Chains A and B, each alone.
Chain A
Amino acid sequence: MLKNTLLDFQKQVNSNSKIKKITKNWNPHIIIKTNDAPKIFTVIVNDSKISALLETHKKHTHELVIEGKENILTAIFNGELNPAQAALDGKLAIFGDHKDQIKLDIISLVLWGG
């Protein structure tokens, strides 16, 4: 469920010219961890696109870690749930630089309009 959503998310991000503008010079690894199933993904953002989606934790000095239940993470990455609201409601734990969280919020806003 989550993997397909992330693959779809990758496609949407990579084909969106506005997101390219926003993610210029932003090269983090986004680590997505489910806490109700043993799943972990690394979304590699590089050169204004998601260059790879790995089913493992690929370590990097610049990481943004997102942790939550699989259905919540799926809802975030298919646009049903706003990540900022989910974090505020305690449905999601986000670790990393605040600026990276903002980027993620913007991507969600550009793709799904809030």
Chain B
Amino acid sequence: MDESIAFTTFQSEIKEKAHTLANTYLAVTAEEIDKESKFPQKNIKHIGKSGLLSLGIPKSKGGIGDDVLATILALEEFATGCASTAMSCLMHYSTLPVLSTLVNKEQEKTFLQPIIDGKWLGSASMSEAGTGSRLWHMNGYVVNKKEHYTIQNSFKSFCTSNNYNNYYLVPVKKSKNSKPNDLSMFIVSSDIKDIKVIGKWDGMGLRGTSSNPVYFNDCKVPKNCRLGKSKNIFPLLMCSVLPLYLVGLSTVYLGIAQKAYNAALEHVKKRVYSDDRKSAAEIETVQRYVGEMRIQISLVRESIHKQCKLLNNFNEILKELYDSDLLADVIGNLQGDNFFLDIAQIKVSACEMAINVTNKAVQICGGAAYVRGHVVERCFRDARAGSIMGPSDDIIKVIVGKKELGLPFPWEESYE
């Protein structure tokens, strides 16, 4: 794989570690995981043992480090090994900025330590059935009881790693009548009996992710599971979790595209026609497809890496603002800033690229890739989810268009 920028020693080490894991374990079981729609529990265990489940927890809090580019490099390696494993890791990583920032000393011991020890996997439980990919609008809410909190009406339509996770990160409205983005944040142990996981995941792709719905209603949550002050939750979700999730999602689809590309290249080199004894690689049309795929992949990778550098910088700013108790004041209305829109645009480019590249990979592999079980066929199905995963490509395009036209953003409209 080509690199678009020079990496630090730390980033290179993480990439190497993830590469070894991907080759040794993830790639080996990817077909079985897809075929049987089986959660990649063993892969997650191996990743946990390697320390890479704590990517995103700063060293100062005992984690392996919160360098965004390092996380992204690991995710691409995971995704070229097994897309379902990578998606589960992404949803886990998406919980870590909030957790690392908001935990108090006691919560640090209870909730961060098992993640640092590689024993806990989490899920970011955001999308609600009612509002779908409109992630800025939550319907679920919390009731503050004397002994505990009760989460009500929080129906999460898709939640990765269901049944195999140790905790859910659940944002809900501060009270029944609060604004949809006036939130409280909870870390909810998956052991709690009131959580209802609904059905069994049977997706078109990403079949090992166990991404079925989960319902939090009359769900009693202990008092120590509430994280941070409400005023900081929405800003943190929008400015810390969402950017990481978006570059991470882009990276998972980059990895899927890279895998399809690698497999297609191998296929066309080996496919030799009996009449002229030439390989498919010698057909000019195939060469053109290969060129197109390669260009599309490289451009997305370069944009992701560039944005990660800015994100590392931005996260340091967030930390300073949080420590000075200025986060909500300063960040409150930044969601429409160019910086975030640039990151969101990468998500669109990456997901469209992955659909496009895997489609071309099917094309040049011909009938072989149309048959169930071919790597390219799997990548083609895996790639399709990106564009609909929230915020969907369509929503991002509308938001960017609104910004360009000087019109209010959707989250501004919905409160009027």
Contacts and interface: CB of A to CB of B under 8 A. Distances in A.
Interface of A: 18, 21-22, 82, 84-85, 88, 101-103, 105-106, 109-110, 113-114
A102 B317 contact: yes
Interface in B290-324: 306, 309-310, 313-314, 316-317, 320-321, 324
B237 to A, nearest CB: 17
Contacts of B338: 114
B370 interface: no
Given A22-B326, A88-B310, A102-B313, A114 B337 contact: yes
Interface of B: 306, 309-310, 313-314, 316-317, 320-321, 324-326, 329-330, 333-334, 337-339
A contact face: mostly helix, strand, loop, or mixed: helix
Nearest to B306: A88
B324 A84 contact: no
A106 B329 CA distance: 13
Contacts of B326: 18, 21-22, 110
A88 B309 contact: yes
A106 B313 contact: no
A80 to B, nearest CB: 12
B333 A18 contact: no
29 contacts: A18-B330, A21-B324, A21-B326, A22-B321, A22-B324, A22-B326, A82-B339, A84-B310, A84-B313, A88-B306, A88-B309, A88-B310, A101-B313, A102-B313, A102-B320, A103-B320, A105-B313, A105-B317, A106-B317, A106-B320, A106-B321, A109-B317, A109-B330, A110-B326, A110-B330, A113-B330, A113-B333, A113-B334, A114-B338
Nearest to A21: B324
Contacts of B339: 82, 85, 114
